[in-house]
Amino acid sequence: MDKNHRHSIIRYIILIAVFLIAFLLLYLFFNTRKSTVYVPPVTPVATVKPEVRTIDEGITLTGYIEPDSIIPVVPFVSGTIESYNIKAGDSVSEGDVLAVIDKKPYELQKAQADAQVKALRASFERVEALYKEGGVSAQEYDTLSAQLEAAEAQLELADLQLSYAEVTAPVSGTILQSMMASGSPASSETPLCVISDLDNLIVNLRVGEKYYTEVRNNDSLRIRIYSDVQGLSSEAEIISVDPMVDPTSKTFGIRVHLLSPEGFVPGMFIKADIVFESGEYLTLPLETRKLDGSVYAVSLTDSTAEYIEMDNIAEDDEYYAIDEKYSGRDFIIRGQDGLLPGVSVRVVESEV
């Protein structure tokens, strides 16, 4: 009995010793193992410093080049065209003969009117002499005098119609269209050609109604007309502004005149920059700005991303203005997508 009791005590002692040894081993294992420290990833970024630039505040519109005036040349008499030596693109001066219409009918009319005047003038001279001597009544004298005046007017009209047989350019310019040929019938219902002064070009633009006051009452307004395709550019000035806004399109029209029209031709597609105001600002490239208008800068205290909300001061197609207090700061221009405030960053490129 004592022997069995002694064996039980020994087993308990051995079991306790095993537990103590296991506990000691576990304690030594966990306390001697190196602790794992989480190191957040470092995001590589490119930065840029703000610079002072001129920002033009305005809008960009599109339109087409037009001649200031398009003049259809219509003959005042009808007949067969005997001479027609113009074509589209020809330059003409005011008074140049563009076409000649058959003169024969009008020469005959003039000859007939001339003969009538000569006959009546001879008769009038005889009657006038008799009238002074009391040989004819005042009524006969007045009747013949009126007939002579009518005949002289008819002669003048015939002479004018004969002159119209030579169709001349009413203004100096360029032939835009020539729609006739020698032998074609001419009439006052069909233009012989269309002339325009290509040195006097305009653009009609439609502007949103919210800019009406800025356009109407801004003497310092600047307008630039340009063609990216042709590489042409010209300053322009406003000729007229519509007195009302179209209620359907919510726009109003302005008509601008090109100051340097060289190279531009009617029908050419152009862009128009209308600048309301210019100023010197501390600026950043638009690429630094997120969709919500915020930006990320490198923190001044450590190499982490700092989230900054920017006020909208002014901007153009490439840059936007920021407060002067951000001068000298490093703003993230690449690598900011998915970036969070406080995340460690590493500058791998710094743009000037």
Please say whether the structural domain 44-54+280-351 has been given the CATH code 3.40.50.300: no
Per-residue pLDDT of 153-205, as tens digits, reads 999 999 999 999 999 999 999 999 999 999 999 998 999 999 999 889 999 99
Cβ contact 293:310 at 8 Å: yes
Q: Which positions ≥6 away from 161 have C-beta within 8 Å?
A: 76, 77, 106, 109, 110
Inter-residue contact 258 to 202 (CB < 8 Å) = yes
Percent of the chain with pLDDT over 90: 66
| Average pLDDT score over the chain | 89
- Specify the CATH architecture of the domain 74-195: Beta Barrel (2.40)
The pLDDT value recorded for residue 271 is: 96
Closest CA to 218 of 46, 47, 59, 334: 59
Range of lowest pLDDT (66-70, 102-106, 133-137): 133-137
Decide yes or no: CATH 2.40.30.170 for domain 60-68+197-278: yes
Statement: residue 35 has pLDDT above 60: no
What ranges do the domains of the chain cover? Answer: 44-54+280-351, 60-68+197-278, 74-195
Enter the pTM of the model.
Answer: 0.63
Lowest mean pLDDT among 37-41, 83-87, 322-326: 37-41
Give the model's confidence band at 42: pLDDT under 50 very low, under 70 low, under 90 confident, else very high: confident
